[in-house]
Amino acid sequence: MSSTINSKEQKILWGRAAARCSMSDCRRKLTFDKSNVTESITLGEMCHIVGEKNNAKSPRGLSKLPIDERNKYSNLILLCSHHHKIIDKDEDNWPIEVLHNIKDEHELWVEESLTSTTITPETIVYSNIIDNLNSYLKLDKYNWYIGNAVRNIIHNDLIDAGDYIEERLLAIDWPGTDKELEKSITVLMESFSKYINHFLKHASNSAPDYEFYREDTDYKQIYPNPNYHYISQRNMLWAKKNFFLLSDYIINLNSFVKNVRRNFNPLFHLKRGKFLIIDDFGMYHGGVSTIVLPLKKDVDEWLDKIDLEIESFEAENKKDRC
Protein backbone atom coordinates (compact mmCIF):
# COMPACT_ATOMS: atom_id res chain seq x y z
CA MET A 1 0.00 0.00 0.00
CA SER A 2 2.82 2.41 0.82
CA SER A 3 4.11 2.23 -2.77
CA THR A 4 1.02 4.14 -3.94
CA ILE A 5 1.57 6.92 -1.36
CA ASN A 6 4.41 9.27 -2.30
CA SER A 7 7.26 9.93 0.12
CA LYS A 8 6.17 13.50 0.86
CA GLU A 9 2.73 12.36 2.10
CA GLN A 10 4.33 9.54 4.09
CA LYS A 11 6.76 11.93 5.81
CA ILE A 12 3.95 14.33 6.76
CA LEU A 13 1.78 11.53 8.14
CA TRP A 14 4.51 9.80 10.17
CA GLY A 15 5.93 13.11 11.41
CA ARG A 16 2.63 14.62 12.59
CA ALA A 17 1.61 11.35 14.25
CA ALA A 18 5.07 11.14 15.93
CA ALA A 19 5.37 7.57 14.60
CA ARG A 20 2.63 6.41 16.99
CA CYS A 21 -0.71 4.69 16.59
CA SER A 22 -3.37 7.42 16.50
CA MET A 23 -5.79 5.59 18.80
CA SER A 24 -5.79 7.33 22.20
CA ASP A 25 -5.87 4.04 24.13
CA CYS A 26 -2.82 2.75 22.21
CA ARG A 27 -0.35 5.40 20.94
CA ARG A 28 2.48 2.89 20.98
CA LYS A 29 5.58 3.74 18.99
CA LEU A 30 5.62 2.20 15.52
CA THR A 31 8.39 1.03 13.18
CA PHE A 32 8.25 1.82 9.48
CA ASP A 33 10.84 -0.64 8.17
CA LYS A 34 14.28 -2.10 8.77
CA SER A 35 17.39 -0.79 7.04
CA ASN A 36 17.77 -4.19 5.36
CA VAL A 37 15.40 -3.88 2.37
CA THR A 38 15.18 -7.67 2.03
CA GLU A 39 13.58 -7.83 5.48
CA SER A 40 11.10 -4.95 5.36
CA ILE A 41 8.63 -4.93 8.25
CA THR A 42 5.91 -2.34 8.70
CA LEU A 43 4.41 -2.31 12.20
CA GLY A 44 2.79 1.05 11.57
CA GLU A 45 0.24 1.18 8.78
CA MET A 46 -0.83 4.18 6.72
CA CYS A 47 -4.56 3.62 6.59
CA HIS A 48 -7.09 5.20 4.27
CA ILE A 49 -9.95 7.07 5.90
CA VAL A 50 -11.96 7.05 2.67
CA GLY A 51 -11.15 3.76 0.93
CA GLU A 52 -8.46 3.76 -1.74
CA LYS A 53 -10.93 2.48 -4.36
CA ASN A 54 -14.40 3.83 -5.09
CA ASN A 55 -16.39 0.66 -4.40
CA ALA A 56 -18.14 -1.14 -1.57
CA LYS A 57 -15.29 -3.66 -1.17
CA SER A 58 -12.92 -0.88 -0.11
CA PRO A 59 -13.72 0.18 3.51
CA ARG A 60 -15.53 3.54 3.43
CA GLY A 61 -14.81 3.54 -0.32
CA LEU A 62 -18.14 4.90 -1.53
CA SER A 63 -17.43 8.61 -1.36
CA LYS A 64 -17.32 11.74 -3.52
CA LEU A 65 -13.65 12.22 -2.63
CA PRO A 66 -11.69 12.10 -5.93
CA ILE A 67 -9.48 9.06 -6.42
CA ASP A 68 -6.36 11.21 -6.84
CA GLU A 69 -6.97 12.67 -3.33
CA ARG A 70 -7.21 9.34 -1.56
CA ASN A 71 -3.49 8.66 -1.19
CA LYS A 72 -2.74 12.08 0.25
CA TYR A 73 -1.97 12.95 3.87
CA SER A 74 -5.42 14.49 4.41
CA ASN A 75 -7.07 11.09 3.81
CA LEU A 76 -4.61 8.98 5.79
CA ILE A 77 -4.36 8.00 9.45
CA LEU A 78 -1.41 6.20 11.07
CA LEU A 79 -2.41 3.10 13.05
CA CYS A 80 -0.90 -0.10 14.36
CA SER A 81 -1.90 -3.24 12.42
CA HIS A 82 -4.31 -4.26 15.19
CA HIS A 83 -6.35 -1.06 15.01
CA HIS A 84 -6.18 -1.00 11.21
CA LYS A 85 -7.99 -4.35 11.15
CA ILE A 86 -10.57 -3.12 13.67
CA ILE A 87 -11.60 0.00 11.71
CA ASP A 88 -11.78 -1.84 8.37
CA LYS A 89 -13.83 -4.77 9.69
CA ASP A 90 -16.43 -2.55 11.40
CA GLU A 91 -17.18 0.44 9.14
CA ASP A 92 -20.42 1.29 10.95
CA ASN A 93 -18.62 2.04 14.21
CA TRP A 94 -15.65 3.68 12.49
CA PRO A 95 -17.10 6.08 9.91
CA ILE A 96 -15.11 8.77 8.09
CA GLU A 97 -15.97 11.59 10.52
CA VAL A 98 -14.91 9.58 13.58
CA LEU A 99 -11.54 8.71 12.03
CA HIS A 100 -10.87 12.35 11.12
CA ASN A 101 -11.62 13.35 14.73
CA ILE A 102 -9.30 10.65 16.08
CA LYS A 103 -6.53 11.82 13.76
CA ASP A 104 -7.01 15.50 14.74
CA GLU A 105 -7.05 14.70 18.46
CA HIS A 106 -3.95 12.54 18.19
CA GLU A 107 -1.98 15.20 16.32
CA LEU A 108 -3.04 17.80 18.90
CA TRP A 109 -1.86 15.41 21.63
CA VAL A 110 1.49 15.08 19.84
CA GLU A 111 1.87 18.88 19.71
CA GLU A 112 0.97 19.36 23.37
CA SER A 113 2.55 16.30 24.95
CA LEU A 114 5.68 15.39 23.03
CA THR A 115 8.80 17.42 22.59
CA SER A 116 9.68 19.19 19.38
CA THR A 117 13.09 20.68 18.75
CA THR A 118 16.19 20.55 16.57
CA ILE A 119 17.69 17.07 16.73
CA THR A 120 21.19 16.82 18.21
CA PRO A 121 22.71 14.12 20.46
CA GLU A 122 22.04 16.40 23.45
CA THR A 123 18.41 17.11 22.57
CA ILE A 124 17.77 13.41 21.96
CA VAL A 125 18.73 12.75 25.60
CA TYR A 126 16.52 15.59 26.90
CA SER A 127 13.61 14.70 24.61
CA ASN A 128 13.66 11.05 25.60
CA ILE A 129 13.63 11.90 29.30
CA ILE A 130 10.84 14.47 28.90
CA ASP A 131 8.67 12.16 26.82
CA ASN A 132 9.16 9.26 29.25
CA LEU A 133 8.33 11.43 32.26
CA ASN A 134 5.17 12.59 30.45
CA SER A 135 4.22 8.95 29.93
CA TYR A 136 5.22 7.48 33.32
CA LEU A 137 3.72 10.32 35.36
CA LYS A 138 0.46 9.97 33.38
CA LEU A 139 0.24 13.72 32.76
CA ASP A 140 -2.44 13.24 30.09
CA LYS A 141 -4.75 11.74 32.74
CA TYR A 142 -3.48 13.90 35.57
CA ASN A 143 -6.86 14.88 37.09
CA TRP A 144 -7.91 11.27 37.68
CA TYR A 145 -4.58 10.22 39.20
CA ILE A 146 -4.24 13.33 41.39
CA GLY A 147 -7.85 13.04 42.61
CA ASN A 148 -7.01 9.60 43.98
CA ALA A 149 -3.58 10.58 45.30
CA VAL A 150 -5.04 13.38 47.46
CA ARG A 151 -7.11 10.66 49.17
CA ASN A 152 -3.97 8.55 49.71
CA ILE A 153 -4.91 6.14 46.94
CA ILE A 154 -2.17 5.62 44.38
CA HIS A 155 -2.57 3.59 41.22
CA ASN A 156 0.04 0.93 40.42
CA ASP A 157 1.09 3.01 37.40
CA LEU A 158 2.55 5.70 39.66
CA ILE A 159 4.28 3.13 41.87
CA ASP A 160 5.93 1.81 38.68
CA ALA A 161 6.83 5.39 37.79
CA GLY A 162 8.64 5.67 41.12
CA ASP A 163 10.79 2.62 40.23
CA TYR A 164 11.57 4.05 36.78
CA ILE A 165 12.52 7.45 38.21
CA GLU A 166 14.84 6.02 40.87
CA GLU A 167 16.69 4.09 38.16
CA ARG A 168 16.90 7.18 35.91
CA LEU A 169 18.23 9.36 38.71
CA LEU A 170 21.23 7.04 38.94
CA ALA A 171 21.64 6.24 35.24
CA ILE A 172 21.17 9.52 33.34
CA ASP A 173 24.39 10.86 31.84
CA TRP A 174 23.50 14.54 31.46
CA PRO A 175 24.79 16.38 28.35
CA GLY A 176 25.33 19.55 30.40
CA THR A 177 24.13 21.90 27.63
CA ASP A 178 21.06 23.14 29.50
CA LYS A 179 21.79 23.21 33.23
CA GLU A 180 18.48 24.87 34.15
CA LEU A 181 16.43 22.20 32.37
CA GLU A 182 18.54 19.42 33.87
CA LYS A 183 18.05 20.85 37.35
CA SER A 184 14.26 21.11 36.92
CA ILE A 185 14.08 17.49 35.71
CA THR A 186 16.27 16.25 38.57
CA VAL A 187 14.33 18.17 41.24
CA LEU A 188 11.04 16.88 39.79
CA MET A 189 12.23 13.28 39.89
CA GLU A 190 13.68 13.62 43.39
CA SER A 191 10.48 15.13 44.78
CA PHE A 192 8.31 12.44 43.15
CA SER A 193 10.60 9.69 44.44
CA LYS A 194 10.52 11.16 47.94
CA TYR A 195 6.72 11.32 47.84
CA ILE A 196 6.30 7.71 46.64
CA ASN A 197 8.84 6.30 49.11
CA HIS A 198 7.13 8.05 52.01
CA PHE A 199 3.71 6.87 50.84
CA LEU A 200 4.86 3.24 50.66
CA LYS A 201 5.96 3.27 54.32
CA HIS A 202 2.40 2.61 55.51
CA ALA A 203 0.57 1.56 52.33
CA SER A 204 -0.29 -1.76 50.70
CA ASN A 205 -2.26 -3.06 47.72
CA SER A 206 -4.22 -5.79 49.43
CA ALA A 207 -7.45 -7.47 48.29
CA PRO A 208 -10.01 -6.96 46.91
CA ASP A 209 -8.44 -4.36 44.60
CA TYR A 210 -4.79 -4.97 43.79
CA GLU A 211 -4.73 -2.11 41.27
CA PHE A 212 -4.27 0.57 43.94
CA TYR A 213 -2.07 1.18 46.94
CA ARG A 214 -3.73 2.78 49.96
CA GLU A 215 -3.30 3.04 53.73
CA ASP A 216 -2.48 -0.30 55.33
CA THR A 217 -5.37 -0.79 57.76
CA ASP A 218 -4.56 -4.34 58.90
CA TYR A 219 -4.10 -3.01 62.45
CA LYS A 220 -7.86 -2.36 62.60
CA GLN A 221 -8.54 -6.08 62.16
CA ILE A 222 -6.69 -6.99 65.36
CA TYR A 223 -8.85 -6.95 68.49
CA PRO A 224 -7.84 -6.07 71.03
CA ASN A 225 -4.83 -4.26 69.58
CA PRO A 226 -2.67 -2.58 72.24
CA ASN A 227 -0.95 -0.54 69.49
CA TYR A 228 -4.19 0.69 67.88
CA HIS A 229 -3.95 4.27 69.15
CA TYR A 230 -0.26 4.58 68.30
CA ILE A 231 -0.67 3.26 64.72
CA SER A 232 -3.79 5.37 64.15
CA GLN A 233 -2.00 8.59 65.19
CA ARG A 234 1.13 7.63 63.26
CA ASN A 235 -0.91 7.07 60.10
CA MET A 236 -2.67 10.42 60.48
CA LEU A 237 0.72 12.16 60.48
CA TRP A 238 1.81 9.95 57.57
CA ALA A 239 -1.24 11.02 55.54
CA LYS A 240 -0.66 14.68 56.38
CA LYS A 241 2.92 14.50 55.18
CA ASN A 242 1.80 12.67 52.03
CA PHE A 243 -0.34 15.65 51.08
CA PHE A 244 2.45 18.19 51.39
CA LEU A 245 5.03 15.96 49.68
CA LEU A 246 2.49 15.61 46.87
CA SER A 247 2.13 19.41 46.83
CA ASP A 248 5.91 19.78 46.62
CA TYR A 249 5.96 17.38 43.66
CA ILE A 250 3.27 19.48 41.90
CA ILE A 251 5.32 22.67 42.45
CA ASN A 252 8.31 21.00 40.81
CA LEU A 253 6.12 19.58 38.05
CA ASN A 254 5.00 23.10 37.11
CA SER A 255 8.60 24.29 37.08
CA PHE A 256 9.56 21.36 34.84
CA VAL A 257 6.70 22.05 32.40
CA LYS A 258 7.65 25.73 32.24
CA ASN A 259 11.23 24.79 31.33
CA VAL A 260 10.10 22.33 28.66
CA ARG A 261 7.90 24.99 27.05
CA ARG A 262 10.75 27.47 27.01
CA ASN A 263 13.44 25.10 25.76
CA PHE A 264 11.72 22.41 23.69
CA ASN A 265 8.05 22.64 22.91
CA PRO A 266 6.00 25.82 23.45
CA LEU A 267 2.82 23.72 23.25
CA PHE A 268 3.79 21.19 25.96
CA HIS A 269 0.57 20.89 28.02
CA LEU A 270 -0.13 24.52 27.12
CA LYS A 271 -3.89 23.91 27.01
CA ARG A 272 -3.84 22.83 30.66
CA GLY A 273 -1.68 25.70 31.89
CA LYS A 274 -0.62 24.88 35.45
CA PHE A 275 -1.06 21.58 37.26
CA LEU A 276 -3.15 21.95 40.41
CA ILE A 277 -4.01 20.05 43.58
CA ILE A 278 -7.58 18.81 43.16
CA ASP A 279 -9.10 18.02 46.57
CA ASP A 280 -12.60 16.98 45.46
CA PHE A 281 -13.61 15.66 48.88
CA GLY A 282 -12.03 18.47 50.91
CA MET A 283 -9.74 15.99 52.68
CA TYR A 284 -7.39 18.81 53.69
CA HIS A 285 -9.75 21.76 53.37
CA GLY A 286 -12.42 21.20 56.01
CA GLY A 287 -14.62 18.97 53.88
CA VAL A 288 -14.98 21.61 51.15
CA SER A 289 -14.10 20.65 47.59
CA THR A 290 -11.05 22.78 46.76
CA ILE A 291 -8.61 23.36 43.91
CA VAL A 292 -5.23 24.74 44.95
CA LEU A 293 -2.06 25.96 43.27
CA PRO A 294 0.56 25.02 45.90
CA LEU A 295 3.24 27.62 46.71
CA LYS A 296 6.81 26.67 47.60
CA LYS A 297 7.10 28.85 50.72
CA ASP A 298 3.87 27.54 52.26
CA VAL A 299 4.62 23.90 51.47
CA ASP A 300 8.16 24.09 52.87
CA GLU A 301 6.84 25.62 56.10
CA TRP A 302 4.22 22.90 56.48
CA LEU A 303 6.72 20.12 55.81
CA ASP A 304 9.02 21.53 58.51
CA LYS A 305 6.10 21.63 60.98
CA ILE A 306 5.02 18.08 60.15
CA ASP A 307 8.55 16.74 60.53
CA LEU A 308 8.69 18.31 64.01
CA GLU A 309 5.27 16.79 64.85
CA ILE A 310 6.46 13.36 63.72
CA GLU A 311 9.72 13.69 65.66
CA SER A 312 7.84 14.75 68.80
CA PHE A 313 5.26 11.99 68.39
CA GLU A 314 7.89 9.27 67.98
CA ALA A 315 9.93 10.56 70.94
CA GLU A 316 6.84 10.64 73.17
CA ASN A 317 5.76 7.16 72.21
CA LYS A 318 9.27 5.78 72.57
CA LYS A 319 9.13 6.80 76.27
CA ASP A 320 5.67 5.31 76.75
CA ARG A 321 6.65 2.05 75.11
CA CYS A 322 9.92 1.61 77.03
Sequence spans of domains, the chain = 2-113, 121-321
Residue 305 CA to residue 299 CA, distance in Å, equals: 10
* Residue 238 C-alpha from the chain's centroid: 26
Q: What was the pLDDT predicted at 39?
A: 43
Q: What was the pLDDT predicted at 34?
A: 43
Look up residue 184 and give its amino acid.
S
Q: Using an 8 Å Cβ cutoff, are 255 and 184 in contact? A: yes
Residue 21 CA to residue 83 CA, distance in Å, equals: 8
Q: What was the pLDDT predicted at 2?
A: 46
For the stretch 86-98, pLDDT in tens is: 999 999 999 999 9
pLDDT above 50: residue 33: no
pLDDT above 90: residue 256: yes
CA angle 235/239/243 to nearest 5° reads 170
| pTM for this model (two decimals) | 0.70
Mean pLDDT of the chain: 89
Q: What was the pLDDT predicted at 98?
A: 96
pLDDT above 60: residue 1: no
